[in-house]
Structure 1
Amino acid sequence: MQVATSRAKKETSDGVPTRRFVFLLLDRFTMISFAGAIEPLRLANRMLGKSAYSWRLAGENGRDVSCSNGASFHLDMGLEEIDREDTLLVCGGIDVQKATTKPVLNWLRREARRGVSIGGICTGSYTMAKAGLLDGKKATIHWENQDAFLEEFEEVRLTKSVFVIDGNRMTTAGGTSSLDLMLKIIAQDHGEDLANSVADQLIYSSIRTDQDTQRLSVPTRIGVRHPKLSQVIQIMEANIEDPISPATLADDVGMSTRQLERLFRRYLNRSPKRYYMELRLQKARNLLMQTDMSVINVALACGFASPSHFSKCYRAHYQTTPYRERGSFGKPGATRLSI
């Protein structure tokens, strides 16, 4: 897959094309994702001995911005018009909905209309989607934010990939996934050898592609390598809104209900019903913290027939009610990351 942003750029004094990136740093952006995007460019320049890449840091106030760990960055520019040949990367992080302001959305829409290639780093995908830049496109976002994203942006074809390139739109899943995207771009601009050399400098031994998924496989996550157990859990995860009965789950993998019960007790020390309930409650908690969906709609989205039953189950598991959970995280809809 070719990145559609590899258009002709300005040149250095020795004729080497220079490609410029503009990083839009949203308030409380994630440093590791930003560093994963900018450091490969610096190393590529160093290894080429030429300024093949340049960059500018942009932000709404045009002066300074802080990332999620509290470090501050001095900005090069505000929301001013950029060159059409630039690549604009939106760097998001914690509370991305609050950071996605009207001026930011208007700027992104204007630059998109001018044909600028735009990408989302970490939760920057949310800001792109809010601006309507991912409608009908394939995209990705950090796995912790996927449930909320799917509820709000049905027109986006969300994937679980580490990064996605769809035309002149790019998105990454957060963490170190921005590094994989930039290595892909460097490889297309200057060849696989340079990209591999940059990865070696970073001691990054396994470059991922857009075919790699961001979450670990079920066996790795649960620490158990039993094919039928993994298969049942995958079915559960794919059917949160309309839960499937243990009898049907057992039948789907060629087991009796009693065998399924023993399998879960042996490896996970809980019943299939209990494990399924925990998955549903985990999704409910994500929706409560990351969206402004009503508690009733959260309950329905997680397979609970009534708010009272949902509240009872939630309190038994988390020792608080759904309403208090939402209140403890401040304003509804504030997206938070664990990275």
Structure 2
Amino acid sequence: MNNTHLHPSILKDGPISIGFVLAPNFTLSAFSNFLDAIRLAADDGDLSRPIFFSWDVISHDYQPIKSSCNIKVVPTRTIYDRKHYDYIVVVGGLLQNNQKLPNQSIEFLLEAAKAKTTLIGICTGTFILARAGLLKTSKVCISWFHHDQFINEFPKIKANADSLFTIDNQFITCSGGIGALHLAAHLIERHRGKYEAVQSLRILQSDFPLPAQSLQPPPTTLTSARSAKVKKAILFIEKNIRNPLTVASIASNLNVSTRHLERLFMKELGVSPTRLYLKLRLAHANKLIRQSTYSISYVASECGFIDLSHFCRSFKDEFGITASTAREQYSMHSVRINGVLVQ
């Protein structure tokens, strides 16, 4: 159940203490979005004094930790200091390079969990908590971008890619990006008040704090959708490009009739769910053709087309050129820019 039980430190004297554990190649924006909101709420005025909140970057040593954009952050405290934290925030990063937290940091997280410290996973930090065996019975939030990989690795963990963040007793998980900002605002409101949370976001030129169940921004350019049902339907579509769902299945997941979902799409986007699904699959195919060396038949399969001839006809109808021509244009462009032929 997604509840709002948080650490009893809301009642304590002194600042709320937050420890950041940064994974190798961590996502800098997720870290900075969360921390900057907290920093602005830690003091009255823009002096950044840690009066109401305090924070450390924790590691097993003082070696700089490189982010995914090559900016490095130097830890301010080691795990061996045994300092108590009200929250420990694990900020994840790139998954494909298979870099992991040092064993000492994993042990630190396990000890904190035993001590009932609230643990927060931001971005792929949720993968780190899950791999440490800490989320077996929890409901978690994961970015739509990593959702498929997460459920493949952890099929027994209940994961959603709809909300910005999820609070489940001792564990809080967050999609990252703007979700980290609004999670920080949520904690600010819990410990300082609504005004301080709003003020912190205003200084950062963001909107009012959004609740946990707010939908993640759709991973498309179709931001004109207003209905929560339409936005959720788009998320279902994006998460199932390779194995397309039927419109009836999407409607059933949203507890609406197929006809009602079709009316919502036409009203808000001027296109049917079926047509949108096809356009997004073809857009993904176009990107793969122009930015990868995969064969056209492989691209068709990756985008949910069983019949290659159907894919080729649909591609030409959508973009006015064949898939082969699109690949040739990409190759010519690569020669002109890089001096080599990319195939």
Structure 1 pair 134–281 and aligned structure 2 pair: CA distance change class (3 A): farther
Residue ranges of structure 2 left out of the alignment (5+ in a row):
252-256, 262-269, 290-297, 312-322, 328-343
Matches of 1:233 and 1:171, distance apart in 2: 22
Counterpart Cα distance in 1 of 2:232 and 2:119: 37
Change (3 A) 1:96 1:106: farther
Rounded to whole Å, the distance in 2 between the matches of 1:8 and 1:235 is 37
Alignment of 1:288-327 (within 5 A): none
Alignment partner, residue 329 of structure 1: none
- Mark the CA change 1:21 to 1:232 in structure 2 (over 3 Å): closer, same or farther: closer
Tell me the residue number matched to 1:261: none
Q: Does 1:253 align with 2:259?
A: yes
Q: CA deviation at 1:20?
A: 0.7
CA distance in 1, matches of 2:159, 2:228: 27
1:245 Cα deviation from its structure 2 partner: 6.6
CA contact (8 A) 1:84 1:114 kept: no
* CA deviations over 1:150-203 (Å, ceiling 9, x no partner): 111122211221011111101111112111111111111121122122222222
Q: Tell me which of the two structures has the higher relative contact order, counting C-alpha pairs closer than 8 angstroms and 6 or more residues apart.
A: 1
Contact 1:96–1:123 (Cα < 8 Å) also in 2: no
- Partner letter of residue 259 of structure 2? V
Q: Which residue of 2 aligns with 1:35?
A: 32
Contact 1:8/1:85, CA 8 A, preserved across alignment: no
State how many pairs are aligned: 292
Which residue is 2:167 aligned to? Answer: 165
Structure 1 residues 150 and 17: alpha-carbon distance in aligned structure 2, compared to 1, 3 A threshold: same
The one-letter code sitting in structure 2 at the alignment partner of 1:190 is R
**What is aligned with 1:156?**
157
- The residue aligned with 1:216 is 218
**Compared with structure 1, are the counterparts of its residues 165 and 235 closer, same or farther at alpha carbon in structure 2 (3 Å cutoff)?**
closer
- 1:3 and 1:169 map into 2 onto residues whose CA distance is 10
Q: For residue 170 of structure 1, what is the amino acid of its counterpart?
A: I
Aligned partners of 2:223, 2:187: CA distance in 1, in Å? 34
| Deviation, structure 1 residue 233 | 6.2
* C-alpha contact 1:224 1:267 (8 A) present in aligned 2: no
Report the alpha carbon displacement of residue 96 of structure 1 after superposing the two structures with TM. 6.9
How far the C-alpha of 1:92 sits from its partner, in A, is 1.2
Relative to structure 2, which stretch is displaced further, 106-115 or 77-86?
77-86
Q: Is the 8 A contact 1:105 1:130 kept in 2?
A: no
Given the superposition, is the C-alpha separation of residues 203 and 222 from structure 1 closer, same or farther in structure 2, using an over 3 Å criterion? closer
- Mapped to 2, the partners of 1:25 and 1:227 lie a distance apart of 33
Equivalent residues of 2:219, 2:238 under 8 A apart = no
Q: Deviations over 1:266-322 (max 9, x none)?
A: 959x9678547549979x99xxxxxxxxxx9xx89x87889xxx9xxxxx6996xxx
Q: What residue identity is the alignment partner of 1:18?
A: P
Range moving further from structure 2, 177-186 or 44-53: 44-53
Misfit runs of 4+, over 4 Å: 222-252, 270-282, 302-306, 316-319
* CA distance in 1 between partners of 2:250 and 2:124 (Å): 34
Counterparts in 2 of 1:240 and 1:182: CA distance versus 1, 3 Å: same
Give the Å deviation of 1:23: 0.2
Q: Normalized against structure 2, the TM-score is what?
A: 0.66
Q: Which residue of 1 aligns with 2:53?
A: 53
Aligned-pair CA distance for 1:146: 0.8
- Residue aligning to 1:291: none
Q: CA deviation at 1:215?
A: 2.6
Aligned equivalents of 1:5, 1:224: Cα separation in 2? 36
CA drift of 1:98 comes to 2.4
- Tell me: CA distance 1:240–1:114, structure 2 relative to 1, closer, same or farther (3 Å): same
For 2:98, the equivalent position in structure 1 comes to: 98
Provide the residue aligned with 2:64 in structure 1.
Answer: 64
Question: Does residue 112 of the first structure (1) align with residue 113 of the second (2)?
Answer: yes
Q: Measure, in 1, the Cα distance between the counterparts of 2:43 and 2:130.
A: 35
Matched with 1:333 is: none
Work out the CA distance in 1 between the residues paired with 2:109 and 2:30: 20
Secondary structure of the 1:158 match is: strand
Look up the equivalent residue of 2:180 and give its one-letter code. S
Q: Distance in 2 between matches of 1:70 and 1:196?
A: 32
The corresponding residue for 1:197 is 199
Report the 3-state secondary structure (helix = DSSP H, G, I; strand = E; otherwise coil) of the residue aligned with 1:171. strand
Structure 1 contact 29–93 (Cα < 8 Å) conserved? yes
More divergent stretch after superposition (232-241 vs 45-54):
232-241
Match of 1:154, SS? coil
Q: Is 82-91 or 164-173 further displaced after alignment?
A: 82-91
- Letter of the 2:17 counterpart: R
